[in-house]
Copies of this chain bind each other. A is one copy, B any other.
Amino acid sequence: MPTIAVDVMGSDMGPEELIVGIRQALVSDKSDYEIIVVGDDRIISPMLMRQGVLKDRRVKVYSASQVIEMDEKPLQAIKTKRDASMIRAIELVKIGTADAVLSCGNTGAMMAGGTIRLRTIDGIERPALGTVIPGKVKNFVMIDVGAAPDPKPESLVDNAILGANYAHVALGVKNPRVGLLSNGTEDGKGNMLVQTAHRLFKAQEGVINYGGLIEGFGLFDGEFDVVVCDGFTGNVVLKSLESSIRMFKDILKEEIMRSWVYKLGMFIASGAFKNLKKRLPIDKYAGAPLLGLNGLVVKAHGSSNRKQIAGAIHITLRCLRKRMQERIKEDVARLNEIVAQNKASAIERERQLEVEES
């Protein structure tokens, strides 16, 4: 039975919002699974009672007395707060009591804690944060959106394997097409990292379904199911997109509020805006898994509301039911040999090129 340890502490919205989110998930999916609510029982017990969550036989509670706050330094917090809810939840995965951990807390602590406690899968050097972004024709996975700001080119190839498996589970795509994010699509475009990774990807033919470079202009056109990038670029792009959408919404709202005529017009056209929202299902994919670890670690936005938490639980369950972790391990192990071979020959070619150039 799939079991998720949900850290309900350390989010911007407070524990009760997350507990309501858990209840929503339990109501909308009645199948067999278990939720272990992790948090300070002095704080969460009355909330669990109030929300009636404990009546559900699928809910367990695991008490942890400390909380890692959003502004704490990750490594220090992990060292000093041994009984932090987030760390306890990760440990439940480590000892096999839970299959996955979900948290809205401090991203850095989650990445550091997950990596230190669960370790990366053999053959993967660093974990990567993947997230689903809504596109015009179809949605796509962007990976890495913040785990490793300075990856090696080889890690981008690993990201492709991780992202393709997540796209398979989250989006239901059979043989996900992978693109590499760049500042242009012609050969020779990209920074040094992308140029080297592009050559490594091309040497992977048949292993990863690599479709080539993709620039920002093409991001939402549906050409790729997985867009691979370094964690710095991915993070900046994702957050910039989020804030530009917020800006447009805010300005439009302000302008509409200026006149009852505009308000009337918007009321009449509101169905079109609801459909727009439906076509860009952001809540549904609110959880972003930290992929490549021995255990599933899912990060949700610090400001996630109940709906987004329910969405994150559903996507985590889907990952567990579709055996994503096992698939990744199988893929990495099965591909490792070919990958290593290809990587070696590509790096050799790389060296020869450098020798020729110098």
A264 sits at the interface (CB 8 A): yes
Q: What B residues does A240 contact at CB under 8 A? A: 216, 219, 237, 240-241
Contact of A239 among B135, B215, B275 (CB under 8 A): B215
B243 & A244 in contact (Cβ 8 Å cutoff): no
CB contact under 8 A between A216 and B239, given known A259-B271, A268-B261, A271-B262: yes
CB contact under 8 A between A241 and B244, given known A251-B280, A264-B268: yes
Closest to A250 in B: B136
* Binary B-proximity of A139-155 (CB < 8 A = 1, otherwise 0): 00000001001100000
Contact of A233 among B150, B221, B236 (CB under 8 A): B236
Contact of A255 among B182, B190, B239, B272 (CB under 8 A): B272
Closest to A149 in B: B191
CB contact under 8 A between A135 and B247, given known A265-B268, A268-B268, A271-B261: yes
Given A241-B241, A255-B279, A264-B269, 15 more contacts at CB 8 Å?
A149-B183, A182-B236, A183-B236, A216-B237, A216-B241, A219-B244, A221-B243, A229-B236, A248-B248, A262-B268, A264-B265, A264-B268, A265-B265, A265-B266, A266-B269
List 21 A-B residue pairs with CB atoms under 8 Å apart, sorted by A's residue number: A136-B251, A149-B190, A150-B192, A182-B236, A190-B232, A191-B230, A215-B239, A216-B235, A216-B236, A216-B241, A216-B243, A217-B242, A219-B239, A219-B240, A221-B243, A251-B279, A255-B279, A258-B272, A261-B268, A261-B271, A262-B269
